[in-house]
Structure 1
Amino acid sequence: MSETAAVILAAGRSTRMKSDLPKVLHEICGRPMLSFVLSACRLAGASRLLVVVGHGKGQVKERFEAEGDVVWVDQDEQNGTGHAVKCCQEQLQGFTGNVVVIAGDMPLVRRTTLAELIEAREQNNDAVSLATTFLDDPAGYGRIIRDTDGKLVAIVEHRNCTEEQRNIREVNPSYYCFDAERLFEGLAQVEANPETGEVYVTEAIRLLREAGHGVSATVTVPAEDAIGINTRLDLAVVSRLMQDRIQLALMEEGVTLVDPDNTWIEAEAVIGRGTTICPFSFIGAGAMIGERCRIGPFASIARGGEVPDETVVGRAENCGASMS
């Protein structure tokens, strides 16, 4: 398998969040949303991580300064997704492998999806493979247009759809795997949209297809994976979905959650087998709880807190950095 680089788009301002904090630093279950995307890319096999930053770039770089495998690429003017990727061309000069392109505000992306995209592109020797999903309400998403044989014909942005196309439920969640050479070949031909002045990645896909290069859309993902975060409501919805994943993984490893709906466990908390978490308890990110413990009800374990095996943290008790 070829080497894989990931280009993560994290330059946007997102005025709808109504926040001075860069969007990708808003937390999902105790971690900045960007960290989930980085993790998914690493676990899918990306050995080079390029993050395109713009608005609040100093804050973003500072928050992730300990992650030495990240290369920061500045996009001083936000002129579209295609322009953001083109900003990475110098860093990827001479690179001949796969390039995964994904937004930094999609923390629900799964490593398995990215791995499948990489595998699909390589097996078919396509210029690009992309994921799709089906939504009951596809408003705002680009529609996947296929021919009678089921092959991808086009990605049409919502505002450009005909009435018939707006009824299509298969949409583009905006994560892709490109052949590096073809990616920049396509982007070099893309002209700025006359209405917005922006350069779009999807236009490069269209041009590559018209030039006869392979373009496939064979990886279908669950609808929840396509949720990007643009508002505080989106943030809450995605946080709840991520919480469900965290809790399910713990229960599958032998942890009892008496009332999952009234328990909150942040990301990267480690809880030992046979431990019971009672209702209205909070477990902070990175907490380490041993085996056969009982936590709560109404207990709080701080981020990074440690609880030894067979410990009872009683009602309304708070545990700080460690507990002996």
Structure 2
Amino acid sequence: MARPAPSPVYTLRGAGAPLNTLHFRCPAGDTPLLFSGSAKGAIHMWDLNSRRAEQVVEAHCGNSVIWLSTLRSGDTLISQGRDMQVCLWDLKDGRSEVVDSVWTGSVGFCQCSVLETSPSNFLLAFAGPQTEEIKIVEMPGKNPVCSLVPDAQLGMVMCVQLWKPDSGLGPLLFAGYEDGSLLLWDVTQRSELSRVKAHPEPVMCLTFDPRRLRGVSGSCEKKLSSWMLDSQNNIQLQDCVMLVNPGVSQLRVRDDGRLLASAGWDHRVRVFGWKKLRPLAVLQYHTDMVLSVAFSDHQDPRQRLLAAGSKDQRISLWSIYNEGPDTG
């Protein structure tokens, strides 16, 4: 007999607007935090012990916050807003001050990607002012690294992910475009390594697991597109994963490589085994589109959570498959 679908372990309310982006920070010995960015420009810093907002920052002049991240090397929060700014925040000693910003010039919804290259430096990739342009700068000096523009008309850049292969190659970047194309770029050589047509519709989201050289992307269709990198850095399309309802806002693989979570336009979060993309659970709680999902990086696997942010202005937190059988 099938197990009943789980319920959230708890929910966070009070954001007052749709939740576009979520990001966990659970350093050893410190209070585990969840950052959320809303459509009204608010960044909430949720204390996961008290389950309350420790701090609320009004950011990006009230424009929608579409992406949040933190750096491993320090108390720095990075936020991206629809005001075409990426802001760096100093969180030391309870502060929340903007210490720097980068102008992107992009009016789209493409979320940035960050890759830490040393304890004090990181690369920031974002959609540029031109339709198909991706800009990469080295921070904190804002030194331009490259501008990547395909040699064909692929439409707007929809999603990007920077990563560094173990082979010794320089940084690489995956990018999904409006026409459904998926490209792999060599950042150092400023060249295109591989291109496939992953979807007939715009690539709404993608995630890539560098350890397994596997990725998955979503669109407004009723399916996820699975793909791998071969030894020549060519993208090879794999089997598709069919969904019950169309539309995926975001995809995330858990750090241990066991689970994939999808944020659905049908108000549901779906959980798959990452190894074989086997459906494991459908999480039903929200009353509107799920816009964002995130896995916590808590040191204790038993305390790891899955968070989902919705257009219904609520965040649900779930404890799933933390110490169970092989998920497949």
TM-score by length of 2: 0.28
Where is the helix percentage greater, Structure 1 or Structure 2?
1
Where is the strand percentage greater, Structure 1 or Structure 2?
2
Larger Rg: 1
